[in-house]
Amino acid sequence: MNINADFDKRVLMHSDEIDWLASPMPGVDRRMLDRIGDEVARATTIVRYAANSKFSAHTHTGGEEYIVLEGVFQDEHGDFPVGSYVRNPPTSSHTPGSDDGCVIFVKLWQFDMDDRTQVMIDMNKNTSVEAAGRDGVAVMPLFSDADETVIMETWDADAHVDMDLPLGGEFLVLDGGFREGGDDLRKHSWLRLPVGSNLSAITGKQGAKVWIKTGHLPHAKAPKG
């Protein structure tokens, strides 16, 4: 299965316009944003857990990265409320679920296979700092290595935000919204810009909180096996 698998193209998806598709586990549904592969896939997905639903215990051979968008996501490592950012590296395992239901943004099979860094950050509690030379922008670092940089940025109301993206970039609106490339992005809209792009965004009256990943797109490939 290939969904938005041409990484040389700009892709914009409004998650609230995508149909929910059932996963192999009852009570767990998905909105697919991009995908290379079938059940074992390099995938970017919005996942919804119904109340009292769980996935079977499993190992993340290719790693898992997620953000809690609604409700509380749970596993044996703890309870993760809205605003949690978590990286479970290759070889990690867990039994995920939710007592009261939740929605998460999740990326699978997109890690360096030698990465063993576990990250658990509550973005509600971490501090953002003003971005040097970028008016109206505050930045919260989340993760960085030789292959990618992950941050959360807060953009002021009516701000003009520009970013050069020599290695491409990926953007998820966590709150508020902005206009880019003639399109209006709103809460939980997802944008992927290819290598050599430039982001030129204008926020609305609410400003925006945006999760941003850069540097990873040249490494995009299907999982082995």
pLDDT in tens, 64-122: 999 999 999 999 889 999 999 999 999 999 999 999 999 999 999 998 889 899 999 99
Give me the half-sphere count of Cα atoms (radius 13 Å) on the Cβ side of residue 88. Answer: 23
Residue-level pLDDT at 41: 87
pTM of the model: 0.95
pLDDT in tens, 126-178: 999 999 999 999 999 999 999 999 999 999 999 999 999 999 999 999 999 99
Residue-level pLDDT at 225: 53
Residue-level pLDDT at 137: 98
Question: Is a pLDDT exceeding 80 seen at residue 199?
Answer: yes
Residue-level pLDDT at 39: 75
pLDDT in tens, 35-77: 998 878 899 999 999 999 988 888 888 899 999 999 999 998 8
Average pLDDT over residues 182-189: 98
129-219: what fold?
Jelly Rolls (2.60.120)
Characterise 83 by phi-psi region: left (phi > 0), alpha (psi -120 to 50), beta (else).
left
18-122: what fold?
Jelly Rolls (2.60.120)
Residues across the chain = 225
Distances (CA, A) of 13 to 24, 173, 204: 23, 11, 19
Which of the pair, 56 or 206, is modelled with greater confidence? 206
Report the C-alpha gap between 28 and 48 in whole angstroms: 6
Helix and strand numbers, DSSP H then E, in the chain: 0, 22
Residue-level pLDDT at 224: 66
At a CB cut-off of 8 Å and minimum separation 6, what does 214 contact?
A: 148, 149, 165, 167, 168, 169, 170
Report the C-alpha gap between 76 and 82 in whole angstroms: 17
- Residue 48's closest CA among 65, 26, 63? 26
* Segments of the chain assigned to CATH 2.60.120.10: 18-122, 129-219
5 CB burial (10 A radius; 0-12, 13-18, 19+): middle
In whole angstroms, what separates CA 110 from the centre of its chain? 11
At a CB cut-off of 8 Å and minimum separation 6, what does 188 contact?
A: 14, 15, 16, 46, 69, 105, 172, 173, 174
